[in-house]
Amino acid sequence: MAPVTARQVREAAEVLGIRDRASLNEIRRRYRERVREWHPDVSQSDPAEAHEMTLRLREAYDLLVDYCMNQRFSFRLEDLAKDLEQNPAGYWMERFGNDPIWG
């Protein structure tokens, strides 16, 4: 996959209706909700529009999952000890606080 820009990640999140932060499970849940809403077999919208939106949702979901799955984590003992000593919110902010999609 080609390098992804912060703008692409943000736009993908917006397609799925994700405002600021989301876990991988929340991204999956939101994708499923939106696909149920827009799938051409159930949508009340124009079939061509529903098909196009379903394709956009899939592309956005794939981009976000790939982005999340390729985050690098340290398994060095010193880093693990430091990371696990923090409270969960502090850990999250330190790891992802300045990230364009989560921060």
- Domain of 29, CATH number, reads 1.10.287.110
In a domain, 24, yes or no: yes
* CB of 50 closer than 8 Å to CB of 43: yes
Q: Binning pLDDT at 50, 70 and 90, where does residue 81 land? A: confident
Domains in the chain: how many in total? 1
In a domain, 89, yes or no: no
Rounded Cα distance between 6 and 53, Å, is 22
In a domain, 81, yes or no: no
Ramachandran region of residue 62, left (φ > 0), alpha (ψ -120 to 50) or beta? alpha
In a domain, 51, yes or no: yes
The domain in which residue 28 lies consists of 6-73
Q: Indicate the average pLDDT of the chain.
A: 86
In a domain, 69, yes or no: yes
Q: Binning pLDDT at 50, 70 and 90, where does residue 38 land? A: very high
